[in-house]
Amino acid sequence: MAVLPRHCCPSLFTAVILLLFCPSPASPHAFFIFGDSLVDAGNNDYLVTLSKANTPPYGVDFSFSGGKPTGRFTNGRTIADVIGEALGQESFAPPYLAPNSSAEVINSGANYASGSSGIFDETGSFYIGRVPLGQQISYFEKTRAQILETMGEKAAAEFLGEALFTVAAGSNDILEYLSPAVPFFGRQKPDPADFQDALVAKLAFHLKVPLTSNSLTSHQHCNFLCFAPILSLPSCKSHPKLSG
């Protein structure tokens, strides 16, 4: 039996489970993506922020843009891009803040993710502009209202029921908590257990925010969470409480 590395990325397990258990013949009609730089497709390009990925070498291996930066914080595709393609998506969900992105919702969905954002609204404030998870959910509420208006309640329910939803958030919250160089929201850091409980509670709140008659967690088509392998980062390996 294969032995997995100590700091193997949880998102990898999630992706494998997703591809194994999602029904591939009926690929989702649309992909709605929430999170941070792991899945940001360019929303930060439309913000006043220090957290941008609009210059080389970002995008150098992204064939769909001819090797040009697209706002993705990677040399190529994001994990959401990879999963979407594996499930039969014909085009990537556009960044929500891009002009005319609403025109692509019916075909591709929408990407609300924002680099440097977190589950807590205050996370990433050092970078100035970013879209916290709560605001991303609010943007989705607007998208859902547009879908209802365009398609009608019954068709919209079927459309959203067949869509794929993914959330990749929490890494930046943890990194800021662990980092001594970044003040924890301008106040004393709580105990690790209290921080963990607060983070989980906030995430649960965001995912259960009423969206008319539904919550984000009520959509049954392959919801999942993923976190970056942050314990493999040099800053975490050198942390006195984690290096052992």
Span 126-164, pLDDT tens digits: 999 999 999 999 999 999 999 999 999 999 989 988 888
Which pLDDT score is estimated for 121? 96
Phi/psi class of residue 116: alpha, beta or left (left: φ > 0; alpha: ψ in -120 to 50)?
left
Which pLDDT score is estimated for 20? 41
140 within domain boundaries? yes
8 within domain boundaries? no
Reported confidence tier of residue 25, pLDDT bands at 50, 70, 90: very low
75 within domain boundaries? yes
Nearest to 172 by CA among 24, 1, 37: 37
Question: How confident is the model over 65-94, as pLDDT tens digits?
Answer: 999 999 999 999 999 999 888 888 888 999
Domain around 59: 31-227
Q: What is the mean pLDDT of the chain?
A: 81
243 within domain boundaries? no
Number of domains comprising the chain: 1
Q: What is the mean pLDDT of residues 168-182?
A: 84
Nearest to 30 by CA among 139, 186, 160, 134: 160
- 36 contacts 169 by C-beta, under 8 angstroms: yes
- 83 contacts 21 by C-beta, under 8 angstroms: no
222 within domain boundaries? yes
Question: How confident is the model over 189-231, as pLDDT tens digits?
Answer: 889 999 999 999 999 898 886 444 455 555 545 555 556 666 6
% pLDDT > 90, the chain = 53
DSSP element (H, E) containing 177? helix 171-178
- This prediction has a pTM of 0.82
188 within domain boundaries? yes
7 within domain boundaries? no
Which pLDDT score is estimated for 59? 96
Reported confidence tier of residue 186, pLDDT bands at 50, 70, 90: low
116 within domain boundaries? yes
